[in-house]
Amino acid sequence: MVVDDHPMWRDAVARDLAEAGLDVVATAGDGEQAVRRAQAAVPDVLVLDLNLPLKPGVQVCKEVVAANPALRVLVLSASGEHADVLEAVKSGATGYLLKSASTEELIDAVRRTAEGDAVFTPGLAGLVLGEYRRLAGEPAAGTPDDPKAPQLTDRETEVLRLVAKGLSYKQIAERLVISHRTVQNHVQNTLGKLQLHNRVELVRYAIERGIDRADDA
Amino acid sequence: MTLSEPGAPVLLAPPVARELAAAVSAALDNVRRHAGAEAHAWILVEDEPGEVIVTVRDDGPGIPEGRLAEAEGEGRLGVALSIRGRLRDIGGTAELISVPGQGTEVELRVPREAARDARGKAGKAR
Protein backbone atom coordinates (compact mmCIF):
# COMPACT_ATOMS: atom_id res chain seq x y z
CA MET A 1 0.00 0.00 0.00
CA VAL A 2 1.33 3.45 -1.00
CA VAL A 3 0.57 6.60 1.01
CA ASP A 4 1.50 10.01 -0.37
CA ASP A 5 -0.44 13.23 -0.84
CA HIS A 6 1.05 14.00 -4.26
CA PRO A 7 -1.03 12.03 -6.81
CA MET A 8 1.63 11.93 -9.53
CA TRP A 9 4.30 10.68 -7.15
CA ARG A 10 1.93 8.19 -5.51
CA ASP A 11 0.79 6.76 -8.85
CA ALA A 12 4.37 6.53 -10.12
CA VAL A 13 5.49 4.62 -7.02
CA ALA A 14 2.45 2.32 -7.21
CA ARG A 15 3.11 1.69 -10.92
CA ASP A 16 6.80 0.95 -10.35
CA LEU A 17 5.94 -1.54 -7.61
CA ALA A 18 3.24 -3.20 -9.73
CA GLU A 19 5.59 -3.47 -12.70
CA ALA A 20 8.12 -5.18 -10.44
CA GLY A 21 5.50 -7.84 -9.74
CA LEU A 22 4.37 -6.56 -6.35
CA ASP A 23 0.67 -6.40 -5.55
CA VAL A 24 -0.44 -2.84 -4.67
CA VAL A 25 -3.62 -3.45 -2.65
CA ALA A 26 -4.44 0.20 -1.90
CA THR A 27 -3.22 3.80 -2.05
CA ALA A 28 -4.11 6.78 0.12
CA GLY A 29 -3.63 10.53 -0.20
CA ASP A 30 -4.05 11.70 3.39
CA GLY A 31 -3.42 10.44 6.92
CA GLU A 32 -6.98 9.53 7.86
CA GLN A 33 -7.57 7.73 4.58
CA ALA A 34 -4.30 5.86 5.14
CA VAL A 35 -5.37 4.52 8.55
CA ARG A 36 -8.82 3.47 7.30
CA ARG A 37 -7.56 1.82 4.12
CA ALA A 38 -4.70 0.04 5.88
CA GLN A 39 -7.24 -1.55 8.19
CA ALA A 40 -9.47 -2.59 5.29
CA ALA A 41 -6.81 -3.71 2.81
CA VAL A 42 -4.39 -5.34 5.33
CA PRO A 43 -1.21 -4.79 3.29
CA ASP A 44 2.08 -6.53 4.15
CA VAL A 45 4.04 -3.31 3.66
CA LEU A 46 3.00 0.32 3.96
CA VAL A 47 5.14 2.75 1.95
CA LEU A 48 4.56 5.93 3.94
CA ASP A 49 5.29 9.59 3.30
CA LEU A 50 5.56 11.50 6.59
CA ASN A 51 4.27 14.83 5.37
CA LEU A 52 0.51 14.19 5.03
CA PRO A 53 -2.65 16.28 5.33
CA LEU A 54 -5.30 15.55 8.00
CA LYS A 55 -3.03 13.30 10.08
CA PRO A 56 0.78 13.37 10.25
CA GLY A 57 2.64 10.36 8.90
CA VAL A 58 4.17 9.63 12.30
CA GLN A 59 0.69 9.30 13.82
CA VAL A 60 -0.42 7.09 10.92
CA CYS A 61 2.60 4.85 11.60
CA LYS A 62 1.70 4.56 15.30
CA GLU A 63 -1.95 3.73 14.63
CA VAL A 64 -1.48 1.19 11.86
CA VAL A 65 1.28 -0.68 13.73
CA ALA A 66 -0.80 -0.68 16.92
CA ALA A 67 -3.78 -2.08 15.00
CA ASN A 68 -1.70 -4.66 13.14
CA PRO A 69 1.74 -5.39 14.59
CA ALA A 70 2.55 -7.65 11.61
CA LEU A 71 2.35 -4.67 9.23
CA ARG A 72 5.78 -3.40 8.11
CA VAL A 73 6.21 0.31 7.51
CA LEU A 74 8.77 1.70 5.09
CA VAL A 75 9.11 5.47 5.44
CA LEU A 76 9.78 7.23 2.15
CA SER A 77 10.37 10.88 2.79
CA ALA A 78 12.22 14.01 1.80
CA SER A 79 15.44 14.81 3.61
CA GLY A 80 15.48 17.16 6.57
CA GLU A 81 12.59 15.54 8.48
CA HIS A 82 14.92 14.08 11.08
CA ALA A 83 12.80 14.31 14.20
CA ASP A 84 9.85 12.78 12.36
CA VAL A 85 11.90 9.96 10.85
CA LEU A 86 13.29 9.03 14.27
CA GLU A 87 9.82 9.19 15.82
CA ALA A 88 8.38 6.97 13.06
CA VAL A 89 11.17 4.45 13.54
CA LYS A 90 10.65 4.41 17.31
CA SER A 91 6.95 3.78 16.81
CA GLY A 92 7.47 0.79 14.59
CA ALA A 93 8.67 1.69 11.10
CA THR A 94 11.45 -0.71 10.09
CA GLY A 95 12.78 1.08 7.06
CA TYR A 96 13.64 4.50 5.76
CA LEU A 97 14.43 5.60 2.25
CA LEU A 98 14.93 9.07 0.81
CA LYS A 99 12.64 10.17 -1.99
CA SER A 100 15.75 10.69 -4.10
CA ALA A 101 16.29 6.90 -4.17
CA SER A 102 16.14 5.11 -7.50
CA THR A 103 13.28 2.84 -8.55
CA GLU A 104 15.54 -0.20 -8.09
CA GLU A 105 16.42 0.90 -4.56
CA LEU A 106 12.74 1.41 -3.74
CA ILE A 107 11.69 -2.02 -5.03
CA ASP A 108 14.58 -3.67 -3.22
CA ALA A 109 13.68 -1.79 -0.02
CA VAL A 110 10.01 -2.84 -0.22
CA ARG A 111 11.01 -6.49 -0.77
CA ARG A 112 13.44 -6.42 2.15
CA THR A 113 10.91 -4.68 4.39
CA ALA A 114 8.34 -7.36 3.52
CA GLU A 115 10.84 -10.04 4.55
CA GLY A 116 11.28 -8.32 7.89
CA ASP A 117 14.70 -6.78 7.26
CA ALA A 118 15.52 -3.34 8.60
CA VAL A 119 16.22 -0.94 5.72
CA PHE A 120 18.68 1.75 6.79
CA THR A 121 20.15 4.73 5.04
CA PRO A 122 23.42 6.19 6.32
CA GLY A 123 21.35 9.15 7.53
CA LEU A 124 19.09 6.93 9.63
CA ALA A 125 22.10 5.15 11.14
CA GLY A 126 23.49 8.54 12.22
CA LEU A 127 20.16 9.47 13.80
CA VAL A 128 19.87 6.16 15.64
CA LEU A 129 23.43 6.52 16.98
CA GLY A 130 22.51 10.02 18.18
CA GLU A 131 19.33 8.76 19.83
CA TYR A 132 21.17 6.08 21.83
CA ARG A 133 23.69 8.72 22.86
CA ARG A 134 20.88 11.01 24.07
CA LEU A 135 19.14 8.19 25.95
CA ALA A 136 22.42 7.32 27.70
CA GLY A 137 22.85 10.97 28.68
CA GLU A 138 19.41 11.33 30.25
CA PRO A 139 19.47 11.43 34.04
CA ALA A 140 18.48 8.03 35.46
CA ALA A 141 15.15 8.11 37.25
CA GLY A 142 16.48 5.53 39.70
CA THR A 143 13.27 3.72 40.61
CA PRO A 144 13.45 -0.09 40.72
CA ASP A 145 10.82 -0.67 38.03
CA ASP A 146 12.20 2.08 35.84
CA PRO A 147 13.30 0.67 32.52
CA LYS A 148 16.98 1.28 31.90
CA ALA A 149 17.80 3.24 28.79
CA PRO A 150 18.61 0.82 25.97
CA GLN A 151 22.28 0.50 25.10
CA LEU A 152 24.15 -0.62 22.03
CA THR A 153 26.75 -3.35 22.30
CA ASP A 154 30.21 -2.44 21.02
CA ARG A 155 29.58 -4.56 17.93
CA GLU A 156 26.23 -2.90 17.22
CA THR A 157 27.85 0.53 17.52
CA GLU A 158 30.62 -0.57 15.17
CA VAL A 159 28.12 -1.84 12.59
CA LEU A 160 25.91 1.26 12.81
CA ARG A 161 28.91 3.55 12.37
CA LEU A 162 29.90 1.71 9.22
CA VAL A 163 26.32 1.93 7.88
CA ALA A 164 26.39 5.68 8.64
CA LYS A 165 29.64 5.99 6.71
CA GLY A 166 27.93 4.57 3.63
CA LEU A 167 29.26 1.00 3.59
CA SER A 168 26.94 -1.68 2.25
CA TYR A 169 26.04 -4.68 4.44
CA LYS A 170 28.28 -6.75 2.17
CA GLN A 171 31.26 -4.43 2.73
CA ILE A 172 30.60 -4.38 6.49
CA ALA A 173 30.48 -8.18 6.55
CA GLU A 174 33.84 -8.30 4.74
CA ARG A 175 35.48 -5.75 7.00
CA LEU A 176 34.34 -7.32 10.26
CA VAL A 177 34.68 -10.87 8.95
CA ILE A 178 31.12 -11.79 9.87
CA SER A 179 28.22 -13.00 7.72
CA HIS A 180 25.80 -10.76 5.85
CA ARG A 181 23.01 -12.19 8.02
CA THR A 182 24.86 -11.23 11.20
CA VAL A 183 25.27 -7.65 9.97
CA GLN A 184 21.52 -7.56 9.29
CA ASN A 185 20.74 -8.95 12.74
CA HIS A 186 22.90 -6.31 14.44
CA VAL A 187 21.20 -3.51 12.52
CA GLN A 188 17.78 -4.94 13.31
CA ASN A 189 18.57 -5.26 17.01
CA THR A 190 19.45 -1.57 17.22
CA LEU A 191 15.94 -0.74 16.00
CA GLY A 192 14.24 -3.44 18.06
CA LYS A 193 15.69 -2.12 21.32
CA LEU A 194 14.61 1.44 20.54
CA GLN A 195 11.08 0.31 19.69
CA LEU A 196 10.82 -1.83 22.81
CA HIS A 197 12.02 1.05 24.98
CA ASN A 198 9.48 3.32 23.31
CA ARG A 199 6.62 0.87 24.02
CA VAL A 200 7.65 0.47 27.64
CA GLU A 201 7.75 4.26 28.04
CA LEU A 202 4.28 4.60 26.51
CA VAL A 203 2.82 1.94 28.79
CA ARG A 204 4.42 3.56 31.81
CA TYR A 205 3.05 6.93 30.77
CA ALA A 206 -0.44 5.44 30.40
CA ILE A 207 -0.24 3.77 33.82
CA GLU A 208 0.91 7.01 35.44
CA ARG A 209 -1.97 8.87 33.86
CA GLY A 210 -4.42 6.17 34.94
CA ILE A 211 -3.18 6.29 38.54
CA ASP A 212 -3.42 10.08 38.51
CA ARG A 213 -7.01 9.87 37.43
CA ALA A 214 -7.85 7.37 40.19
CA ASP A 215 -6.28 9.74 42.73
CA ASP A 216 -8.37 12.62 41.45
CA ALA A 217 -11.54 10.59 41.85
CA MET B 1 27.62 13.57 -0.87
CA THR B 2 25.68 12.19 2.08
CA LEU B 3 25.63 13.73 5.55
CA SER B 4 24.71 11.63 8.60
CA GLU B 5 24.34 13.44 11.88
CA PRO B 6 22.81 12.86 15.31
CA GLY B 7 19.63 14.88 14.72
CA ALA B 8 20.51 17.60 17.22
CA PRO B 9 22.96 20.51 17.10
CA VAL B 10 26.56 19.58 17.99
CA LEU B 11 27.95 22.57 19.86
CA LEU B 12 31.63 23.53 19.70
CA ALA B 13 33.51 26.72 20.53
CA PRO B 14 33.73 28.95 17.42
CA PRO B 15 37.52 28.58 16.88
CA VAL B 16 37.28 24.79 17.23
CA ALA B 17 34.28 24.62 14.91
CA ARG B 18 36.14 26.75 12.33
CA GLU B 19 39.24 24.52 12.32
CA LEU B 20 37.13 21.36 12.18
CA ALA B 21 35.08 22.72 9.27
CA ALA B 22 38.29 23.69 7.43
CA ALA B 23 39.68 20.19 8.00
CA VAL B 24 36.49 18.64 6.58
CA SER B 25 36.76 20.91 3.53
CA ALA B 26 40.35 19.82 3.02
CA ALA B 27 39.31 16.17 3.29
CA LEU B 28 36.56 16.72 0.68
CA ASP B 29 39.06 18.47 -1.62
CA ASN B 30 41.19 15.39 -1.25
CA VAL B 31 38.27 13.16 -2.27
CA ARG B 32 37.67 15.30 -5.34
CA ARG B 33 41.33 15.13 -6.30
CA HIS B 34 42.09 11.46 -5.65
CA ALA B 35 38.86 9.48 -5.77
CA GLY B 36 37.65 10.87 -9.11
CA ALA B 37 34.61 12.77 -10.32
CA GLU B 38 32.33 9.73 -9.96
CA ALA B 39 33.23 9.17 -6.31
CA HIS B 40 30.65 9.47 -3.57
CA ALA B 41 31.50 10.97 -0.17
CA TRP B 42 29.86 10.38 3.20
CA ILE B 43 30.25 12.56 6.26
CA LEU B 44 29.33 11.19 9.68
CA VAL B 45 29.12 13.54 12.68
CA GLU B 46 29.05 11.92 16.14
CA ASP B 47 28.55 13.72 19.42
CA GLU B 48 30.08 11.55 22.13
CA PRO B 49 30.31 12.60 25.80
CA GLY B 50 34.09 12.96 25.64
CA GLU B 51 34.65 13.97 22.04
CA VAL B 52 33.19 15.00 18.72
CA ILE B 53 34.06 12.70 15.81
CA VAL B 54 33.70 13.67 12.16
CA THR B 55 34.47 11.03 9.54
CA VAL B 56 34.81 11.73 5.83
CA ARG B 57 34.71 8.59 3.69
CA ASP B 58 34.87 8.11 -0.06
CA ASP B 59 34.30 5.08 -2.28
CA GLY B 60 37.36 5.70 -4.44
CA PRO B 61 40.10 3.15 -5.09
CA GLY B 62 41.69 3.74 -1.69
CA ILE B 63 45.37 3.89 -0.87
CA PRO B 64 47.39 0.70 -1.43
CA GLU B 65 49.17 -0.65 1.62
CA GLY B 66 52.55 0.95 2.14
CA ARG B 67 51.77 3.71 -0.34
CA LEU B 68 50.82 6.10 2.44
CA ALA B 69 54.07 5.78 4.35
CA GLU B 70 55.97 6.08 1.07
CA ALA B 71 54.16 9.28 0.12
CA GLU B 72 54.69 10.64 3.61
CA GLY B 73 58.41 9.92 3.29
CA GLU B 74 58.52 11.81 0.01
CA GLY B 75 56.78 14.76 1.64
CA ARG B 76 53.88 14.46 -0.75
CA LEU B 77 51.12 14.40 1.81
CA GLY B 78 50.38 18.11 1.87
CA VAL B 79 46.66 17.79 2.39
CA ALA B 80 46.86 15.04 5.00
CA LEU B 81 49.45 17.04 6.89
CA SER B 82 47.39 20.20 6.79
CA ILE B 83 44.39 18.28 8.13
CA ARG B 84 46.52 16.77 10.90
CA GLY B 85 47.97 20.20 11.73
CA ARG B 86 44.56 21.79 12.03
CA LEU B 87 43.36 19.05 14.35
CA ARG B 88 46.52 19.23 16.46
CA ASP B 89 45.95 22.97 16.90
CA ILE B 90 42.59 22.28 18.54
CA GLY B 91 43.86 19.35 20.61
CA GLY B 92 42.45 16.67 18.35
CA THR B 93 43.70 13.89 16.10
CA ALA B 94 43.26 12.92 12.46
CA GLU B 95 43.53 9.32 11.32
CA LEU B 96 43.61 8.04 7.77
CA ILE B 97 42.09 4.59 7.21
CA SER B 98 42.04 2.84 3.86
CA VAL B 99 40.64 -0.63 3.35
CA PRO B 100 41.18 -2.18 -0.10
CA GLY B 101 37.96 -1.95 -2.10
CA GLN B 102 36.24 0.19 0.53
CA GLY B 103 37.66 3.64 -0.18
CA THR B 104 39.42 5.96 2.23
CA GLU B 105 38.28 7.37 5.58
CA VAL B 106 39.59 10.40 7.39
CA GLU B 107 38.55 10.30 11.03
CA LEU B 108 38.77 13.62 12.89
CA ARG B 109 38.46 13.53 16.69
CA VAL B 110 38.21 16.57 18.93
CA PRO B 111 38.13 15.91 22.68
CA ARG B 112 35.46 17.84 24.56
CA GLU B 113 38.09 18.91 27.09
CA ALA B 114 40.20 20.55 24.38
CA ALA B 115 37.12 22.22 22.99
CA ARG B 116 36.43 23.72 26.41
CA ASP B 117 40.04 24.93 26.77
CA ALA B 118 39.89 26.63 23.39
CA ARG B 119 36.63 28.25 24.40
CA GLY B 120 38.30 29.51 27.59
CA LYS B 121 41.20 30.96 25.61
CA ALA B 122 38.86 32.59 23.13
CA GLY B 123 37.00 34.10 26.07
CA LYS B 124 40.18 35.53 27.56
CA ALA B 125 41.32 36.91 24.24
CA ARG B 126 38.20 39.02 24.12
- Ranges of each domain in chain A: 2-119, 124-216
**A143-152, A174-183, B43-52, B67-76, range with the lowest pLDDT:** B67-76
Q: Which residues of A150-181 are buried (b: 16+ CB within 10 A; e: fewer)?
A: bebeeebbebbbbbbbbbebebbbbbeeeeee
Q: Is B48 an interface residue toward A (CB < 8 Å)?
A: yes
Count residue pairs from A and B with Cβ separation < 8 A: 66
C-alpha closest to that of B109 among B3, B16, B9: B16
* Chain B residue with Cα closest to A173: B102
Query: CB distance B102–A171 less than 8 Å?
Result: yes
Domain A124-216, CATH number (from 1.25.40.10, 1.10.520.20, 3.30.450.40, 1.10.10.10): 1.10.10.10
> pLDDT tens for residues A2-47?
999 999 999 999 999 999 999 999 999 999 999 999 999 999 999 9
Confidence of residue B101 (pLDDT cuts 50, 70, 90): confident
The predicted pLDDT at position B125 comes to: 39
d(CA A109, CA A202): 29
* Chain A residue with Cα closest to B6: A130
- Per the model's pLDDT, the better-predicted residue between B63 and B94 turns out to be B94
With contacts defined as CB-CB under 8 Å, which chain B residues touch A83?
7
The CATH code that applies to domain A2-119 is: 3.40.50.2300
From the CA of B43, how many Å to the nearest CA of chain A? Answer: 7
ipTM of this predicted structure: 0.83
* Chain A residue with Cα closest to B7: A127
Nearest to B46 among A121, A129, A131 (CB): A129
Site from A102, A162, A165, A176 to mutate, B interface, most B CB atoms within 10 angstroms: A165
Domain B2-125's class? alpha beta
List the 105-124 stretch of A: residues with Cβ below 8 A of B: 121-123
Query: CB distance A122–B46 less than 8 Å?
Result: no
